[in-house]
Amino acid sequence: MRRSLKDLQLNEEARNKMRAAGRFNAQLLDFLRPYVKAGITTEAIDKLCHDYTRDHGHIPAPLNYHGFPKSCCTSVNEVICHGIPDSYTLQDGDIVNVDITSIVDGWYGDQSETFLIGQVSDKARQVTQCAFDSLYKAIEVIKPGSKITEIGQAIVAEAERYGFSVVREYVGHGLGTEFHQDPSIPHYPDPRFNRIPIEPGICFTIEPMINVGRYQGIVDPLDNWTVRTIDGKLSAQFEHTILMTEEGPEILTTTEHGPKPGHKF
């Protein structure tokens, strides 16, 4: 049964549970960070993610989620999202998005970063910068009561400065004791969300996927998960879990060693 947004507003105890989940997820990403470099397979990254999560008593949320076979997503170059870790070895010049979600005492933390592997092309650096800046532009514009569509407006405005496109089919989402719940968070200004406010206590992800070329993607017919750009051009993404508080948006997945707002790649 679909719950109203009012029912999804978290009290202080629940907010603290989400903060704990976000903290662990950020800790996990910092653990993985030094390993994400040329010469490692995406499958090895997945094993590191799985073992670290289980060793700390938590659960990797992607594993077996609707049949997904791995504990994280690794999306390389033209892969928009849902890349399945495998025997591919990261190479100098690649970009790879590592998307991790942890279940901590029944609550979910979710985030992703795009990593530059060695010396990358100017276009790869630009699309990564655009995805990163788009995420923070969106966080900056929202406050209690902001309409969901303001997020998409901020992201599209930033992407257009680069001449890049914003993926429409895959969106941010509510987060709590479920992996994906209301509200949906489009990364473009969908008019259906013009009147939906983000009230204090609502927890959600913002995760813009930015393409160098066209915004459409194609799902791999062999694995039914991997989404690639329709034109084979690069795609980059960053994601945070956000809690709207009475004072404004609180990022729950801030890493200690990752890029901070204003970072230049």
What confidence tens digit (pLDDT) does each residue in 87-114 have?
A: 999 999 999 999 999 999 999 999 999 9
pLDDT digits (tens, 9 = 90+) for 15-43: 999 999 999 999 999 999 999 999 999 99
| CA 153 to each of CA 16, 149, 159, 166, 189: distance values in angstroms, whole numbers, following the listed order | 30, 6, 10, 11, 5
| pLDDT reading at 67 higher than 60 | yes
Better-predicted residue by pLDDT, 173 or 4: 173
pLDDT digits (tens, 9 = 90+) for 123-176: 999 999 999 999 999 999 999 999 999 999 999 999 999 999 999 999 999 999
Type of residue numbered 244: M
Q: What is the torsional sign of CA 195, 199, 201, 205?
A: positive
Tell me the average pLDDT of the chain: 97
State the pLDDT at residue 7. 85
State the pLDDT at residue 3. 60
Q: What is the bridge-based pairing of β-strands 172-174 and 181-185?
A: antiparallel
Other Cβ atoms within 10 Å of 220 Cβ, number:
14
Domain boundaries, the chain: 6-251
Better-predicted residue by pLDDT, 2 or 136: 136
| pLDDT reading at 74 higher than 60 | yes
3-class SS string, the chain: CCCCCHHHCCCHHHHHHHHHHHHHHHHHHHHHHHHCCCCCEHHHHHHHHHHHHHHCCCEECCCCHHHCCCCCEEEECCEEECCCCCCCECCCCCEEEEEEEEEECCEEEEEEEEEECCCCCHHHHHHHHHHHHHHHHHHHHCCCCCECHHHHHHHHHHHHHHCCEECCCCCEEECCCCCCEEEEECCCCCHHHCCCECCCCCEEEECCEEECCCCCEEECCCCCCCEEECCCCCEEECEEEEEECCCCEEECCCCCCCCCCCCCC
State the pLDDT at residue 6. 83
| Burial tier of 55 (Cβ tally within 10 Å: 0-12, 13-18, 19+) | exposed
| pLDDT reading at 2 higher than 80 | no
pTM > 0.85: yes or no? yes
Whole-angstrom distance, CA of residue 239 vs CA of residue 254: 10
Which overall architecture, per CATH, does domain 6-251 show? Answer: Alpha-Beta Complex (3.90)
State the pLDDT at residue 1. 38
